[in-house]
Amino acid sequence: MIRTAASTPYDPWLAAAEIALGSLAGGGPMFGKAGRRLIESESHSPFQTSELSSALGTIELESGKNAMAKKLFLGSLRRPTENAVAQAMWASKEMSSLALNIGDYDAPRTYEARAWECFAGGKWDVALQESNNWLLDEPFAVKPAALGSYIAAAVLEDYERAEVILKAGLLANPHAPILRNNLAFALGSQSKTAEAEKYVSWTPQENLSLDNQINLLATKGLLLFREGDPDKGRSLYREAIDKAYRGSLPEHLGRALLYLAREEMLAKTQFSLTTLKEALDVTSKISDPDFQVLRERLRRFGSQRVTALP
């Protein structure tokens, strides 16, 4: 509908939507050149072209044209919408030359951008609050519930709060794999395995993307550990780790190993210490702030339990 609308080549909002949706759908946008002409003509205010500049900047960044991408993202921030600020924050993680401070931009409802900024800075309580604000602002979206639940469950170990966030997110997206998996993880970490099982037995694994397959295998492994079957649980964790390794997904691999080590120690298995060492070694080069929390917690947990392990 957007592509066939006669006004799209002349309307920066419609052109921005076509460029973003065309990229998402594959095959690329049709109105990239028209969008550039709209920006270069300066016939619209910076606010009117904010999301258009952001959409074009994303295309350039994904094509490896960082200099042009930076110019477009900076243009999108002259009078930005909240979406433009959030997209620029994402781009700044991919492009070190685009250093941003969210406080410099007076845009309403920049919850998404602030959530990611605080996440990157390890400000967990604020990041969680901004994620909740983002979810309240966009209750139909998957990402705010996914981010907020990860912070609550994985980083803060507040599993009950994660449950609340995820059940709210599932109202609009009852089949979202990441939300169902995160809820099963939060429930399983409390040993509520019967309830957790309802969220991991709903779809064939082959219908999922690789990252969701890895998450599902690891969570099923967690549930088996909590149900008293560490051998089968370990087998599923190792399958998830192997998929992550072959798929070149180091963060998924690292998380699976860290949580496998946690479950081995909780179950007091003979593999506890070797898995602990493996998890710490493999994740030593991952500098993300959440991994620093997970590794330090696991290291402390291991030192407390070392005398009790076989």
Mean pLDDT along residues 89-111: 72
For the segment 55-71, what is each residue's pLDDT rounded down to a tens digit?
A: 999 999 988 898 999 99
Whether 205 has a pLDDT exceeding 70, the answer reads no
pLDDT band for position 149 (cuts 50, 70, 90): very high
Residues of the chain with CATH 1.25.40.10: 109-202
| pLDDT number for residue 206 | 67
Q: State the Cα–Cα distance between residues 200 and 182, nearest whole angstrom.
A: 10
Whether 310 has a pLDDT exceeding 50, the answer reads no
| pLDDT number for residue 107 | 59
pLDDT band for position 86 (cuts 50, 70, 90): confident
Average pLDDT, the chain: 90
| pLDDT number for residue 143 | 93
For the segment 211-252, what is each residue's pLDDT rounded down to a tens digit?
A: 999 999 999 999 999 999 999 999 999 999 999 999 999 999
Whether 30 has a pLDDT exceeding 50, the answer reads yes
Lowest mean pLDDT among 82-96, 116-130, 257-271: 82-96
Higher pLDDT, 253 or 107: 253
Mean pLDDT along residues 132-142: 92
pLDDT band for position 309 (cuts 50, 70, 90): very low
pTM, two decimals, is 0.73
Instruction: Kindly report the backbone phi and psi dihedral angles of residue 85, in degrees, each rounded to the nearest multiple of 5, phi listed first.
Output: -65, -45
Mean pLDDT along residues 131-140: 92
CB under 8 A, 24+ apart: contacts of 62-69: 62/23, 66/95, 66/97, 69/95, 69/98
Residue 4 burial (C-beta neighbours within 10 Å; 0-12, 13-18, 19+): exposed
Higher pLDDT, 110 or 200: 200
| pLDDT number for residue 23 | 77
Whether 171 has a pLDDT exceeding 60, the answer reads yes
Whether 22 has a pLDDT exceeding 90, the answer reads no
Mean pLDDT along residues 135-162: 95
pLDDT band for position 37 (cuts 50, 70, 90): very high
Q: Which two tokens stand for residue 46?
A: 């910076």
**H-only helix segments in 45-123:** 50-62, 66-76, 82-94, 111-120
Residue with tokens 């705010």: 144
For the segment 242-293, what is each residue's pLDDT rounded down to a tens digit?
A: 999 999 999 999 999 999 999 999 999 999 999 999 999 999 999 999 999 9
Mean pLDDT along residues 40-51: 90
| pLDDT number for residue 83 | 83
pLDDT band for position 193 (cuts 50, 70, 90): very high
Q: Which two tokens stand for residue 208?
A: 């999922």
CATH architecture label of 206-310: Alpha Horseshoe (1.25)
Mean pLDDT along residues 99-109: 63
CATH architecture label of 109-202: Alpha Horseshoe (1.25)
Whether 102 has a pLDDT exceeding 80, the answer reads no
| Closest C-alpha to 111, from 80, 96, 141, 132 | 132
Q: What is the DSSP letter of 21?
A: H
SS3 101: coil
Q: State the Cα–Cα distance between residues 108 and 105, nearest whole angstrom.
A: 9
Q: Which two tokens stand for residue 243?
A: 């998929």
